[in-house]
Structures are given as structure tokens and as C-alpha cells.
Amino acid sequence: MKKIDDYNHKKVLVLGAGKSGTHAAELLKELGATVVLSDSKPSSELPEVAELQDSGIQTVTGKQDPAILDDGFDIMVKNPGIPYDNAVVAAAVDHHLPIITEVELASQITDAEIIGVTGSNGKTTTVTMITEILNQERAKGHAYAAGNIGISATETAKKATTDDTIVMELSSFMLLGIKTLHPHVAVLTNIFSNHLDYHKTRENYVNAKMRITMNQTPEDFFVVNFDSDEWRGLSKRSAAKVVPFARTTEIDKGAYEKNGKLYYNDEFIMNAEDIKVPGKQNVENALAAIACAKVLGKSNLAITNVLETFTGVRHRLQFVLEANGRKFYNDSKATDIEATQMALEGFDKPVVLLAGGLDRGYTFDKLIPQFKEHVKAAVLFGETADLLEDSLKKAGIQNIQKVDNIDEAVPAAYSFSDEGDIVLLSPANASWDQFKTFEERGDRYIADVEKLTNKQEGH
């Protein structure tokens, strides 16, 4: 860890607790700052607050009032999920107070090489693939996954050395709060129309994503999905060496699929069907990982050792278990239509789909082609059950059942299934109508599958 003086004798407001806020506050105090942490939740819901107070960090809980800025801060470290129209953040912008996120702070103190990964879908899987590949055949140091994957970037940066690599998953929210973060390799998996409630426009969302490459130089690499004219065009904004990957578009350099085989610059790497995790989207994630690994000098064996054995990230098209000839998959992270489209397209066997969740005001007719081709039956729950039912009926699906919750959905889905079928939770919706997080939703599904089959996850 670098011993920087940037925050010595500075007064810093950390807005939002949680892992990122807590670890940022602790690090800032270690760097000599006077730290105040503010969170809208009451202290009774923030067990970490007492420990922070014991270490000399002032905490203000139960409200977020712009008046706190009257205390004269030098900088704000903002929880990425807090929008810029939050009253305190908006007031900070008006006062021209610098605002960063925890990943920026982590990048300032680390001696390690940084790999950054962003995109609407596939970030976590790609980060995990890259991290595992970089840990193959490694003579010195270690590769660590951190950031939006759920692992504190600052805690990782504190322990990482010059021999190490930090593979950071970077959300658009995080990227809005960077100033100097400089990944040696930046990866853009794809861009769809996500988080427009936060960013207001697609243009703002795209611009936030593209901040991942804003500090790169010609000595760096920008790995970009070339399966969209838009994404290909975005690559021209980068000063780094562009390394394309493509599953459906014919390209003559980079990582690509051709006739079911994966190549890098015309060099055969592996067969697409040998990737352990199913789905076209995971071919794309693998191609992104291959491109990143090859520019960093990893061997084909290091790549195939991982991609032929990697069974998926929890809640992201994760294989749960097989029972009575049915394979159960947990894709709770599919919080939008595009993710469910890709999940369904990944299977060539009949799917019994479990779906539904928070109503964000759109229909599901975009899923009709995938429903027609892949779904034999569906069990629906949550606020969008009726909307999903309407689209499924348009697709000609007859076997549809609406239930109150996932606990009821799992046995109902099993009753529709036959030997050889896929039972898939891929909700196409956020979880917040019935669960706090998509992780909680996925964990409930796994528990219900284990109860139904009397088997354990991974068996």
C-alpha cells in the first residue's frame, strides 16, 4: 500500500455506510484524515457504526441533511448507489465539493496492476474468469477480484503488492466517482439501457461506462465487444490499444468465435462447447476473458484450465444441482429482459421458467421469440406476473401458473418438468418487490430446490 499524503489533515465526508463506506472511512483515518460518516439508516441498523466510533470516526445516522456540509469538508466519498439528486450530494455539487467513490480511493493507494471490467451484463462472470486465469501458472503474486463483485476495493488495495493484480468490477455508479483510476486493461462487455432511473438518459449511462478508459494511454489495452456497431464506435473514444472480441461479428483480430471454435488472432484456443457454463452470453464473457488474458501474456493452457472447469458465479446462470434428470439453474441476477433473453438462448433443452419481480412499467414482449423457442412452461410471481403471462400467451405457451412467491414456484415448476428438462430461475426483473437483493432471491430458490429434491447444491 502506498503511504500517500493526499488526505492528511483533510476533512472527509463519507456518505453511506455498508462495506465500501466503512472500509473507506477506516482507510481515510489511517491516512490522517478527519472522517465523518453519514448514513440515512438509524444506528440500530448499522452494526458497524459502534466500531467506527470507537476508532475515532464521527458518525451521523438516521438522516442525511445538506446542513452537514456547513462543517467544511474537503472531499466527499460517496456510496455508488446514492444518486446525484440526493439532497446532500446535490448540495455538494453546488458547493463544488470533489466527490469520489471507494474504487478511486483504492486506486490511489495500491501498488498493484489494475484490470477494470464494466458493462451492463456479464461483469461479475468476466471478472471471475479473468481472475482465475491470471492465477494460473503465476510465479509471483496473486490476482484479486474486487469492487462491484461485492469485495471491498480499499481492503483489497491495502493488502495488494506490486506483484499482484486487482481485477475490479466497475459499475456505472462507481465510474462516475473516479478521477485518476487507471486500469492497464479495461474491458467493456456490452451496454444496454440499464439504470436510466439513476442516469436519466442512455447517453449519460454510456458516458458513465466509458469513464473506465478515460485515463488510459497507448500503453494500455481496451477490450471491447464488437458485436454492436455502437460498442465498436465507442472504442474510438479510447487512447488505449483496442482489442476487440466478437461472438457473431466477423473480425480479423482479437478474440472471436468461428464455426463453434474460439480463436485469438487466428490462433485456436478451444471449442466453444467446452466452456463449462452454458449460454451464448458466457461465450462472450469467455472471449472477453481470453482477450484480456492474451494481452497479459497468459498461455492457452492457463485459459482452458479455467474455462473448461468454471461452473459459474453464484446467481448468474449458476448450476445448482441435478435431480431425477432435471437440471436446476439459478440466474437470479437476471434483473432485466436482456439477461433473461441470453439465459434462455443458452439452452437447447426444454426450459421450465420461473420469472417475475418488481414492476418497472414495461412489458415483456421482447421475450416472445425466446419464449417460443425455449420455454415449455412458466411459473410466475411478483408484481409483473400478469404482464409476463400476457407475453407468454402471445408466444403460445399453454402451461402457465401464477403463485405468490418462490417457495410455491419451485414445486410448481417441478410439476411441469420432465426428465431432461431445465428448471431455470431467470426473473427478468429486479427483486425489490419481495426481496432486499437478487442474492437473497437466489438463495431462497436454492434452498427451495434443495428441500424439494433432498439434495445439496453442487451435487
Instruction: Find out whether 440 and 431 touch, Cβ atoms under 8 Å.
Output: yes
Contact 69, 9 (CB under 8 A): no
Would you call 58 helix, strand, or coil by DSSP? strand
Contact 69, 92 (CB under 8 A): yes
Contact 197, 222 (CB under 8 A): no
CA distances, 39 to each of 22, 29, 67, 230 (Å):
11, 18, 14, 38
Q: How would you classify the pairing of strands 261-264 and 267-271?
A: antiparallel
> 149: how many CB neighbours lie within 10 A of its CB?
19
Region of 354 on the Ramachandran plot (φ > 0 left; ψ -120 to 50 alpha; else beta): beta
Instruction: Give per-residue burial for 376-397: e unless 16+ CB within 10 Å, then b.
Output: bbbbbbbbbbebbbebbeebeb
3-state secondary structure of 227: coil
Q: Are 430 and 335 in contact (CB under 8 A)?
A: yes
Q: Are 332 and 324 in contact (CB under 8 A)?
A: no
96's grid cell: 463544488
- The answer to the question of whether 125 is labelled as a binding residue is yes
Q: Is 119 annotated as a binding residue?
A: yes
Asked whether 297 and 120 are in contact (CB, 8 A), the reply is: no
Specify the 3-state DSSP secondary structure of 34: strand
- Spatial separation of the C-alpha atoms in residues 303 and 398, rounded to whole Å: 43
Dihedral angle over CA of 249, 253, 257, 259, nearest 10: 90
First to last CA, the chain: 41
On whether the CB atoms of residues 189 and 126 are closer than 8 A, the answer is: yes
Structural element, H or E, at residue 306: helix 300-307
* Cα–Cα distance measured from residue 146 to residue 168, given in angstroms and rounded to the nearest whole number: 5
Phi, psi of 171 (to 5 degrees): -80, 165
121 is in an annotated binding site: yes
Lay out the sheet containing 318-323: strands in order across. Answer: 318-323, 326-330, 422-425, 351-355, 375-380, 399-402
Is 228 assigned a ligand-binding role in the annotation? no
Annotated binding-site residue? 118: no
Four-residue CA torsion sign, 353, 246, 178, 201: negative
Annotated binding-site positions: 119-125
Annotated binding-site positions for ATP: 119-125
